[in-house]
Structure 1
Amino acid sequence: MNAPGTARQSPDFRLMIGDEPFDPIDVPVPDEGLAPAKKATIVQFTALLTEPDVARVKAAYGLVLDRFIPNLAFLERLDDGTVGRLRADFLVRSCTALDPALKLAPWIPATGTPLRLITTMFDDADAGTVRSALDAAGARDVQLIDDRPAGSHLFAEFALDDRAALPRIAAIDDVVWAEPEPDAVDFNVEAAQTIQSGGVGVHGGTIWDQGLHGEGQVIGIIEKDGTIDLNHCFFADEPNVPGPGHRKVLSLTRKNDTKVNEHAMFVAGIAAGDDRANPGTHPHRGGAFAAKLVVRTRDNHLLKMLGDAKAAGATIHNNSWGLADITSYDKTARDADEFSFRNEDHVVVGAGAGFHEADNTPPGIAKNVLCVAAAKAFPFEMSDGDGLPGPTSPDKRRKPEIMAVGGGISSALVNPASPSAPYCLTGGPQVFAADATSWAAPNAAAAAALVRQYFTEGWYPTGRKRPDRRLLPTGALIRAVLLNSTVDMTGRPGYPSLTEGWGLIRLDRTLFFDGAHRRVDVHDVRHSAGLEIGQRRTHEIVVSSITEQLKITLVWTDVPPAETLHTLPARNLLRLEAEDPGGIAYVGNDIDIPTGLSRPVGSGPPGPPDLRNNVHMVIVDHPPVGKWKITVEGSVVFGQQGYALVTSGALK
């Protein structure tokens, strides 16, 4: 029942596609109905579907319900008979033919030819029919990429010499979406110690000191257009052939014309470089120097590249590059999100855009990717060194969301003499900028590898290595630990902020080791055991002292990519609430920006609920001692949604 003097808010039935949201009820229905052939049709329902509703409409009408469009709608392929029956169903608000113009990405360049395009097809499309239709519409150099066996879609890459042919491409029944083929750009600008414990030098104290160096971990490196030199001491072995027996490089994939370059060398060295002759002692070794690497140069199909890296053993994936002039949620972002959702144990890291770019771009802006900006080197690490502020455009999500050191770094350099024997040249960047998000991202990837090792070796929950306690963490848990470990960057006002996100990584604030003041409590829930719509789960913790800040972080890897047609990628929505021993409640992401602390419910006007981000936090200084209740609720969930919940502080 509504409270006195209040009214129930009407649902928003506008479709969030195209330049302006519109109500499908206002779209005229042709008298003749749809053609007998199956056409792209938007089916909008009167409310969220329950599981029995989903089962019924799938069985009755052959709906797939896999291409969600906010609000309350799905894109389907239907004939006119099915459309007529659907319009009579009490759950259906409207059935609207998709305007072909809405299939064209708004960021297709307005001028210039030839256009290089990528189109996404309906999953029941026939490859031969697609090729013939594209040829007839004026496409040339058509290349089909069928990622359906990997759980993705059928794509077509091609050139278009006549811009007037764009409507003909959009009118092809099999086409769902057309967007420009992207070009990539590199994001360039004693770091490992700074993000491990905040100290540097011999007495700095690091996670390394506990015995975590990346052993047993594999980091995938995808580079824009370069590769690494296996002759460098950071990557060399004997025999020096990449593969399972190589001490550092499990796989090295590159195009025929790909050359060794400094960007690739520097990034790989930051992540896991280690001197073969003197392991674990080189002053410029990587943040996870005992980890192994899978290295490749990029193409336009990130889903396949990530899948190949997985097949070679990688679970952490670094991308120190972005797409030129593409700032929307495109195919690359969808690939990253789809891979992350379907491979729960993996973490994808993306560099935020550098100061010289126009805006943050894919893959960093994907909802399940950890987007990293660069902090300066110690002792100025509380100031940002490189990275454009968010939020994402146009959906206003928080990206970048975390900071790692991206300045004052020395790593592997290319030897101009190109010797055949191993060499060991290191130093600061010679070609690229000294401060760069490109350097921050592999530092974050290395930190992710250390977090993964912490759980796989059984350090949780005792703070001592216990093989019988081994846990295979989800990517959501690794991201949640990294985000929970962050500290507010004092050189940037407000917390969280559009520039720093949730702040600078400081691993020892969350990774608990025996004898430390701060402890950690984690709940890692996989999709198969995840929340359904309206379901709530309560987890309890006990705070033992008011001296340590209490930080609660909820992260979930959202459902595979939202439909290409609209610009609101968020799909499943979870709600975080924490209640202290006295009954005072806090809601995730309702934070007083000047102080960086959560607002107690009822202490003033609440902030709007966060319906966009899949990272939610509650942060409380001087938390009351006693039992706290932490509740996670499935506010809007399609199927089941897993999550990771990480709490750190003075816990019993």
Structure 2
Amino acid sequence: MLGRDGGALRAPAKSGSRYVLQLNGTLNDHQRALLAQTGARLGDYLPANAYLADLSRADLDAIAALGFVRWAGEWRPEWKIEPQIGSRAFSSEERKAIASAGEVLVQAYLFDGVPADVAKREIESFTGATVEDSVRIGGMETLAVRIPLANVRELSNADSIRFVEELPEFTERSNTNTRWIVQSNISNSTPLYDAGIHGEGQIIGIMDGGFQPAHCSFSDPALAITTGNTPGVFPTHRKVAAYNVPLVSSSHGTHVAGTAMGNQSGEVNDNTRGIAYNARVCFRTYSTPVSAFPIDVHLTTHANQGATVHTNSWGDDGTTAYNAICRAIDLFSYDHEDNLVCFASTNLSALKNPENAKSVLAVGKSGGSGSQTGSCSTLSGPTADGRRKPEVFAPGCSTISASSSTSCGTTTMTGTSMASPAVAGAASLIRQYFTDGFYPTGAKVPSNSLVPSGALLRAMLTNSSVDMTAYPSPNQVPPNRYEGFGRILLDNAVYLAGDARKLLVKDIRNTSGSALTTSSVSTTNFRVQGSGQSLRVTMAFSDAPATIPTSFAPVNDINLRVIDPFGNVYLGNVINATTGLSQTGGGADAINSIELVVLNSPATGNWRAEVVGAAVNVGTQGFGLVITGDVASFNACPADLNGDQVVDDFDFAIFALAYDMFDCSAPSMPPSCPSDITADGFVDDSDFVAFATAYDAFLCP
């Protein structure tokens, strides 16, 4: 055990072991460099203000001399074993047989740098332990181990092991109306389709129990997908981009795919058509009950094949823990920022796993036509550590979609399984809106194309959401633990030419120079032009993956605050539970990765939305910001030509070059003519006066 004794750490660090270093506050870059100089190698962040660390090559006296290290201690054996191992009831015959034999299947996660073969030899030295598989899950080398239940706690003595949990058992979570409900909630009104947005150029990743590509919703007369050519990649296929396992049919998976992206040849507008009906699919099955499942590896495969929105209608109803699959999904979302992962929430009454991952969009089910303000069952969050889930709802009660037992028929199913692909299809439509260049003009301008992050898509979907007034009963205004932010309604957030509601977005990647660090602020100035539209501001971010085990998953904390023309400050998620509107006061939300400010009849004038880096413990943190209402962009610092919040010599160099060119229409002038501060079409002496005044002030207001 390492401890603090009069300011000095004592006892040598054991080679191969890991330790916890707790600091007296948020780690900054200077402190990180000082720790590195001692030889300490930091690993995952641990709440609060602590890190898993390898001290085998560290100078312990040098660490003790650092004034910001509060405590150090060895990663203890009792922290290594999930307490609930052996207590679950399984549904598959394979897992029932293992349990009846007095054994368990567990996943052992290794410390960074430990070779799998070394760990295998150590683990198999324990009584009755057999290593059956080796994979990487969530960036961790993982061994699937079969061991007598009575002996499982012996694994805590293995130096190579970081944590052991029971291998999860994943199970399934069991269109015409859905298409207009998610777009406008007006019967047969489909504004995105009318604008030419049907999913063209989009690929949706689906993992499920199976999928029948011969159904007319997916078949291609020019290329049949069969047992003879699967697994395979099909770049020319009408609907299937990749089928990554041997062909296996499933009524559940076929129904799910039909809702997300099904469409017959010949443009038949019936229940064989899904939401993003001109999109394509990458498919694979999820794991068997007795095998480990490296979901991040399979999500990455789908991403490499072109999928950017992913839907999953299955999960583990045996736990509420933030475990390896949650970490794996969050790692994928953090490293692959152009991707959005949706999961159907459990059909049980309380939230389960892995919809409790931080960057997953957890989906609940609403009723269909005539009952979309309610649900056909009750689901309640939050997660075990208090985060708000589920986040959004879509129709999933008595959904009609493709039937695998027919060549072109349909069947009815109910469940969150049906809602998640509807949300994924809707997200694909939003993504096409951006990639086709509909933003910001509301009309298709290919040169305006932008690739949205998964965080921006989450912010768009939650910004669009509306209260399900008949759910829960009695009604509670969103956001709440039952309906999250509400049922998606895309027309509320997507701006098309002629719409009264306008749209402003900011999309910052984690690796961008504009990404947040602790105490930094990203400011977006905008103008409310009229009070007739509500103002909704949403911010979402893909948080760094948490360590396991953990009882508190948040790692980075960034917050939304909106300031009105009179200086009133509205913090994200500080919302009156009676009115559903934002109110001043309260405290910043330290745990949720989606935040909302909503106001009816907002004051006209100049507003400011700030995203604040409250505590960025790992890397730098990007985000997606969405502002809707009667709004327009407003530059409070037009002379800051490079956007660094100061007016200095770098800006002068940009201005001088444009001043020499004079005419904003000149071919060599940068797009949008940023040096035209007075907006008269020319860079002239009036702009020089405005620039000089701002240059003297230096700091942006």
TM-score in terms of structure 1 length: 0.88
Find out whether 1:649 has 2:609 as its counterpart.
no
Quick check: 2:21–2:72 contact (8 Å CA) kept in 1?
yes
Q: Which runs of 5+ in 1 are unaligned?
A: 1-23, 417-422
1:105 to 82, 95, 114: 82
Bigger radius of gyration = 2
1:558 to 518, 543, 547: 543
CA distance 1:81–1:243, change in 2 (3 Å): closer
After the TM superposition, which residues 198-237 of structure 1 pair with which residues of structure 2 at under 5 Å, given as runs? 198-201=185-188, 204-223=189-208, 226-237=209-220
Find out whether 1:129 has 2:114 as its counterpart.
no
Quick check: 2:570–2:597 contact (8 Å CA) kept in 1?
yes
Shift of 1:144: 4.6
Quick check: 2:349–2:380 contact (8 Å CA) kept in 1?
no
2:305 to 309, 312, 329: 312
Partner of 2:344: 351
- SS of the residue 2:112 aligns to: coil
Partner of 1:21: none
Quick check: 2:359–2:542 contact (8 Å CA) kept in 1?
yes
Find out whether 1:96 has 2:73 as its counterpart.
yes
Shift of 1:398: 0.6
Find out whether 1:572 has 2:572 as its counterpart.
no
- What letter is aligned with 2:496? F
Quick check: 2:80–2:163 contact (8 Å CA) kept in 1?
yes
More deviation, 637-646/549-558: 637-646
Q: Distance in 2 between matches of 1:546 and 1:139?
A: 70
Q: Distance in 1 between matches of 2:530 and 2:154?
A: 67
- SS of the residue 1:207 aligns to: helix
Shift of 1:205: 3.6
Partner of 1:544: 529
- SS of the residue 2:467 aligns to: coil
After the TM superposition, which residues 518-537 of structure 1 pair with which residues of structure 2 at under 5 Å, given as runs? 518-529=501-512, 530-537=515-522
Quick check: 1:280–1:290 contact (8 Å CA) kept in 2?
no
CA distance 1:384–1:335, change in 2 (3 Å): same
After the TM superposition, which residues 336-415 of structure 1 pair with which residues of structure 2 at under 5 Å, given as runs? 336-354=329-347, 357=348, 359-386=350-377, 388-393=379-384, 395-415=385-405
- What letter is aligned with 1:404? A
Partner of 1:73: 50
Shift of 1:512: 0.3
Find out whether 1:47 has 2:25 as its counterpart.
yes
Shift of 1:386: 3.8
Quick check: 1:280–1:289 contact (8 Å CA) kept in 2?
no
Quick check: 1:557–1:642 contact (8 Å CA) kept in 2?
yes
Q: Distance in 1 between matches of 2:241 and 2:169?
A: 27
Find out whether 1:178 has 2:188 as its counterpart.
no
Shift of 1:546: 0.8
Quick check: 1:349–1:370 contact (8 Å CA) kept in 2?
yes
Shift of 1:647: 0.3
Alpha-carbon displacement from aligned partner over 1:613-641 (angstroms, at most 9, x marks no partner) = 01011000000011111111100013310
Q: Distance in 1 between matches of 2:336 and 2:458?
A: 14
Find out whether 1:87 has 2:64 as its counterpart.
yes
Q: Distance in 1 between matches of 2:469 and 2:75?
A: 49
Partner of 1:443: 422
CA distance 1:28–1:180, change in 2 (3 Å): farther
Quick check: 2:4–2:10 contact (8 Å CA) kept in 1?
no
CA distance 1:336–1:27, change in 2 (3 Å): farther
Partner of 1:609: 588
- SS of the residue 2:38 aligns to: helix
Find out whether 1:640 has 2:620 as its counterpart.
yes
- SS of the residue 1:221 aligns to: strand
Partner of 2:654: none
Partner of 2:601: 622
Quick check: 2:317–2:346 contact (8 Å CA) kept in 1?
no
Alpha-carbon displacement from aligned partner over 1:571-598 (angstroms, at most 9, x marks no partner) = 1111211111122221111000111100
CA distance 1:358–1:83, change in 2 (3 Å): farther
Find out whether 1:459 has 2:459 as its counterpart.
no
- SS of the residue 2:482 aligns to: coil
- SS of the residue 2:315 aligns to: strand
After the TM superposition, which residues 254-269 of structure 1 pair with which residues of structure 2 at under 5 Å, given as runs? 254=245, 259-269=248-258
Shift of 1:469: 0.2
Shift of 1:36: 4.0
Shift of 1:505: 0.3
Quick check: 1:374–1:387 contact (8 Å CA) kept in 2?
no
Q: Distance in 2 between matches of 1:625 and 1:252?
A: 53
CA distance 1:626–1:133, change in 2 (3 Å): same
Find out whether 1:330 has 2:302 as its counterpart.
no
1:152 to 139, 146, 150: 139
Shift of 1:107: 3.0
After the TM superposition, which residues 425-504 of structure 1 pair with which residues of structure 2 at under 5 Å, given as runs? 425-429=409-413, 434=414, 436-492=415-471, 493-494=475-476, 495-504=478-487
Superposed CA RMSD in Å reads 2.3
More deviation, 112-121/364-373: 112-121
Shift of 1:378: 1.7
Alpha-carbon displacement from aligned partner over 1:84-128 (angstroms, at most 9, x marks no partner) = 542343221111112211111233224853110011111110222
Quick check: 2:136–2:294 contact (8 Å CA) kept in 1?
no
Q: Distance in 2 between matches of 1:324 and 1:585?
A: 41
- SS of the residue 1:136 aligns to: coil
- SS of the residue 1:295 aligns to: strand
Find out whether 1:288 has 2:268 as its counterpart.
no
Q: Distance in 2 between matches of 1:318 and 1:27?
A: 52
Shift of 1:208: 1.1
Shift of 1:404: 0.8
CA distance 1:27–1:335, change in 2 (3 Å): farther
Alpha-carbon displacement from aligned partner over 1:335-371 (angstroms, at most 9, x marks no partner) = 11000000000000001111xx363222211000000
Q: Distance in 2 between matches of 1:280 and 1:478?
A: 29
- What letter is aligned with 2:572? G
Alpha-carbon displacement from aligned partner over 1:315-354 (angstroms, at most 9, x marks no partner) = 1110101113021111111111000000000000001111
1:424 to 404, 408, 418: 408
Q: Distance in 1 between matches of 2:277 and 2:555?
A: 37
- What letter is aligned with 1:249? V
- What letter is aligned with 2:578? P
Q: Distance in 2 between matches of 1:401 and 1:599?
A: 21
Q: Which has the higher contact order (CA 8 A, sep 6+)?
A: 1
Q: Distance in 1 between matches of 2:13 and 2:38?
A: 20
Q: Distance in 1 between matches of 2:6 and 2:133?
A: 36
Q: Distance in 1 between matches of 2:37 and 2:567?
A: 46
Quick check: 2:23–2:71 contact (8 Å CA) kept in 1?
yes
Partner of 1:168: 154
- SS of the residue 2:125 aligns to: helix
CA distance 1:415–1:573, change in 2 (3 Å): same
- SS of the residue 2:18 aligns to: strand
Shift of 1:565: 2.4
Residue-pair matches, total: 598
CA distance 1:260–1:141, change in 2 (3 Å): farther
Shift of 1:80: 8.8
Quick check: 2:349–2:378 contact (8 Å CA) kept in 1?
no
Q: Distance in 2 between matches of 1:335 and 1:469?
A: 33
Q: Distance in 2 between matches of 1:307 and 1:209?
A: 33
Identical-pair percentage: 30
Quick check: 2:7–2:65 contact (8 Å CA) kept in 1?
no
TM-score in terms of structure 2 length: 0.82
Q: Distance in 2 between matches of 1:468 and 1:275?
A: 31
Q: Distance in 2 between matches of 1:39 and 1:248?
A: 50
